[in-house]
Structure 1
């Protein structure tokens, strides 16, 4: 790619004195975007597409920075799809090693927990309970992993703010904590619990302008340098400073992001619900996490599940999936499972969006063709200084791919998006930011020789 004279990308990798910036410049294909600059030529609001936990988290993060947001949701209400379940777990995702996924989601859990507590303390209408999560191993491998996690967390200094409160419970103690007999001991995360996702989404979007029943079909540049959207009825909407696409599988529905369809996977999941009256002498005092999960009572109902199906795109509820959830629950709580039958259960099914490496896509939207032209020979291992700064679609960002971990991933991701827009620093380490960067799949494919510019049709 030829860089025009005066283009700031030409100097992206020179005169760098700050060590942290130098590390980012060492991989210019992950370089941050230019920060948000207020202009008298347009509204300065940021448009957010998608009214689930990802989209509403982005609204909240920007609103906290004094940036207005307009939220577009194609359904009549927010949290209508995967974020619409009655209960979502606030459970830490901790790995025994120092994996990038573990680092991201562990930081995400801490951020989400603090955010929900802050909102609750401020009187926000969020339904939540920090009742703890009891995590039971389902296999010998799980048991080994849990002990490694316990050792890892025990090695953390008691006054370290990054520590997640966890302890090992014997079979007897675990049974007492839950309220019914369990077959094995496990880890108890005392600061974890559950939330009602729709209530969280509505609180996070309370300062946004909401445009429901509005499906966005096109994203266009505006002559002033802003962004315009086209609705399903053909209407041109707004002149926004930027747009964030946070619509799960819908993220790949636009010309600028269509390449992402190869890296977004829809997983159908069905939950099952039963009345608290079925428990009788049994109790569910905290969230149980095993091969599946079981929640305490909310509005007279307990939730358990859930199924995972890569080969379905429908959201109908099936008795066969209720039966699968009962069988899964029976591995941890056989006495309770024997009291359940599909005929007496209600449920809900939704599609969760994930990625091949199980990490979300968070950051500026890469210009696919421009990446191929800018970095055609990354597989040759040439020095980074040969390359220009990352080419992105101007003022466009994506936030999607959290799978079943949206509640502990999206709020932190939204803060990362906000830092890109405002130009502020973010505490996530550079390797973690790079691991969730949307361009990682393009870069990997080029390095592996799997794509080349001549293969791309304009």
Structure 2
């Protein structure tokens, strides 16, 4: 997906006092009011709230978020309905979103005022991403896709129950009603899906028919003679890619192996979807591997091409910042005060700002600072320009792991001190409830646990349990150093990263590092590595270290890193089936039923944990994916199989 800079909407007012778009020369809603249009056209036209009642999940897709009135009306109706669905997932696209300050100026229906304030508080930086906003304890989710609807609809992964087709008038905004756009709705439609729009224009109705909908014109209100409603009735149903198919289980039970950041976040994400999880680890307590470090950083990245890595890291950084806002309120040690990353390639802050402008990133996501401005922010002398990430920061990862587990409540059962020697899938013969269950066995062959879904989130040990597949994932040893903060260290007010990193005082400790040594599996803490970390400290601060390397304390752990520097998240590929029928698209690679993996978080375990867990939970449960399809492919373990099968084909062709 090629991103384009987000151009915020300009909020104007019509002579009648209605919210007006100067860009499109049209009002956002008719004179009869936003509430009447939302309730009659979109909720009424989709038979809501009746259709969502007694369901575990209901998914709405809106084309054109605008002022957010349709979302607020739907959320309000959901809150008022005692028979409401367990979770409401509302996806909306918007090419020209309002700035937060403009959103606050929009007049609201009195019954929506409190909800509107929550929406304003959660409003994200205007970056070309799929932003997840969470309300009502996670039971209402808004997935806000900022950018061109025509680009977003092919990228969305969801089964939609109701479509709200909104937007400015066809004559003023024809791209919002493009026939190719409407045709993509069929790919997203769940069985029995409905659609509604205030437009009765022939091209709109024809586009819905092409997408597989049976279309009907019905009387409108508020000066609108007719509106359009439709029901999905396709001649054939499009094939769903194996990577996009939910786990085949009605029992909603899973085992997650590995109680670090990846595993604990996954257990919490599944619990939020109503699943029961056993969280199993070989250690007696959670967070004993790399997640046991005393502190770690989180932040996004920027590059001029805004390619796969930049887009994924930006999405992950925005999600973890949202999650950590709640974790820090609950007492998890850390800070969301921002982070500075020193620039070593571009010559100046002006050159850095040119990159930001080219990509179109807002100041509440990233800023380019010259050395003096960065030094003032850090509170210590810096000699390079720096990227400032206002939503970056640091957190104590072991406390975050425990917080994730606590979020799962009674749905997450912690079981420590259990080493899994092997995994096996029971044959599905149709005779019992446990047909097709995954079984975990210890060294004596005894069953530790069993469930229809298994997630391996135990770093490099996941590869052992999978039989050492030919994935390019390797161990990188890292050692960080720490010492009492009152020993004369020059510590910044907020984290500084570059060649190494330096944190503010963490529980009275100066924490800095870290070394990087691929393939080194020795667990000892070394004075030579402390010396390397001290050298990094001196380069960052321009000051001599106040103590000798031999006086430092430290910790060693291993980062598991994929060759393409992206995590490995998704359903485990079936290599033999893929070899038998070579496929060059990652999402169509055959999968092992009920088996998933989340590993290779590298040095970005904190940043990637929450988004990766949500991606995995959506893949397992069938909820809308919080990431676009092209990025799902980029982190999918099937990518290794596609490359492996292609290598075999080239070799066989010689």
**Does the C-alpha gap of structure 1 residues 412 and 239 become closer, same or farther in structure 2, counting only changes over 3 Å?**
same
What is the total number of aligned residue pairs between the two structures?
414
TM-score (norm 1): 0.83
- Determine if contact 2:312/2:631 at 8 Å carries over to the other structure: yes
Q: Match for residue 568 of structure 2? A: 361
Residue 232 to residue 116, structure 1, CA distance change in 2 (3 Å): farther
Contact 1:33 1:364 in 2 (8 A): no
> 2:404 is matched with which residue: 204, 213, 217?
204
User: Cα offset for 1:245?
Assistant: 0.3
Q: CA deviation at 1:330?
A: 1.9
Q: In angstroms, what is the RMSD of aligned CA positions?
A: 2.9
Offset, 1:145: 7.5
Match of residue 423 from structure 2: 219
Q: Which moved more, 1:358-367 or 1:87-96?
A: 87-96
Provide the rounded CA distance (Å) in 1 between the counterparts of 2:593 and 2:305: 37
Who is 1:5 aligned against?
Answer: none
Tell me if the contact between 1:257 and 1:365 (Cα under 8 Å) persists in the aligned partners. no
Whether 1:301 and 2:501 are equivalent positions in the alignment is: no
Residue pair 1:28, 1:390 contacting (<8 A) in 2 also: no
2:306 aligned residue (92, 98, 101): 98
Q: Kindly indicate whether residue 646 of structure 2 is the aligned counterpart of residue 441 of structure 1.
A: no
Larger RCO (CA within 8 A; separation ≥ 6): 1
1:64 aligns with 2:272: yes
Cα contact 1:265–1:353 (8 A) shared by 2 = yes
Instruction: Give unpaired runs (5+ residues) of structure 2.
Output: 1-182, 190-210, 212-236, 429-434
- Tell me the alpha carbon deviations over residues 25-80 of structure 1, each in whole angstroms, 9 at most, x when there is no partner: 999876423445324xxxx4210011110101100100111101101111121111
1:93 Cα shift? 2.6
Following superposition, the deviation at residue 283 of structure 1 comes to 4.2
Shift of the alpha carbon at 1:340?
3.5
Q: Which residue of 2 aligns with 1:372?
A: 579
What are the equivalent positions in structure 2 for 1:397-416 lying under 5 Å apart? 397-416=596-615
Quote the Cα distance in structure 2 between the aligned partners of 1:184 and 1:118.
33
Distance 1:114 1:302, change over 3 A: same
Confirm or deny that 1:234 pairs with 2:234: no
Given that residues 474 and 519 in structure 2 are in contact (C-alpha distance below 8 angstroms), is that contact kept between their aligned partners in structure 1?
no
Distance 1:356 1:145 in 2: 29
Find the aligned partners of 2:648 and 2:392 in 1 and give their Cα distance: 44
> Quick one: which of 314, 317, 322 aligns to 2:530?
322
Q: Structure 2 CA distance, aligned partners of 1:422 and 1:229?
A: 21
Picking from 320, 324, 328, the partner of 1:120 is 328
Q: 1:229 Cα shift?
A: 1.0
Cα distance change of structure 1 residues 151 and 339 upon mapping to structure 2, 3 Å threshold: farther
1:108-128 CA-to-partner distances (Å, cap 9, x unmatched) read 01111101112333x2x4111
1:277 corresponds to: 486
Which of 468, 490, 513 is the equivalent residue of 1:258? 468
**1:230 Cα deviation from its structure 2 partner:** 0.6
User: Does the aligned pair in 2 maintain the 1:30–1:434 contact within 8 Å?
Assistant: no
Aligned mates of 2:461, 2:637 — CA distance in 1: 15
Contact 2:260 2:288 survives alignment (8 Å) = yes
| Shift in Å, 1:242 | 0.4
Secondary structure, counterpart of 1:398 in structure 2:
strand
TM-score, scaled relative to structure 2: 0.59
Choose from 9, 18, 33 the match for 2:186. 18
CA 1:249 to 1:240, structure 2 compared with 1: closer, same or farther past 3 Å? same
Distance in 2, Cα, partners of 1:319 & 1:370: 49
Offset of residue 452 of structure 1: 7.5
Structure-1 residue corresponding to 2:393: 193
**SS in structure 2 of the partner of residue 273 of structure 1:** strand
Aligned to 2:376: 176
Change (3 A) 1:393 1:16: farther
Aligned to 2:421, the other structure's residue is in SS state: strand
5+ residue gaps in structure 1?
1-14, 379-383
Equivalent position of 1:12 in the other structure? none
